[in-house]
Amino acid sequence: MSNALSGFSDAQTHCPVIACPPVGDSYGGNDVFSSLRMPSGVAPMVILNPENAALAAAKILGLSDSGIQVKVKEFQEAQRQKLIDDDKSIK
């Protein structure tokens, strides 16, 4: 039940590690601190939103898989267009 697992894992591998601490008030609401406070040389990425953590993983995998990279680009363009459309709807 510790978010420190991401730091432990990161210290043991050369691969990227994404920490996505759970949302909630359990354990005093300070769960994120065990993911943020890391010793020198330990650097997991901390992303608070699970959907954004998945996007970060897809971007990493997309570096070596062009099919995933295309899907990421399509998703980003759809998000960009949604922002443009939403902005127009309030003007």
Q: Find the domain containing 10 and state its range.
A: 1-48
Do 41 and 61 share a domain, yes or no?
Answer: no
- The model scores a pTM over 0.75: yes
Count of the separate structural domains present in the chain: 2
Mean pLDDT of the chain: 89
Do 41 and 65 share a domain, yes or no?
Answer: no
Do 41 and 4 share a domain, yes or no?
Answer: yes
For the segment 9-42, what is each residue's pLDDT rounded down to a tens digit? 999 999 999 998 877 665 555 567 788 888 999 9
Do 55 and 43 share a domain, yes or no?
Answer: no
What three-state secondary structure class fits 62? Answer: helix
Do 87 and 56 share a domain, yes or no?
Answer: yes
CA–CA gap between residue 37 and residue 90 (Å, rounded):
41
CA 72, distance to chain mean position in Å, is 14
Do 2 and 40 share a domain, yes or no?
Answer: yes
Helix (H) or strand (E) holding 78: helix 66-90
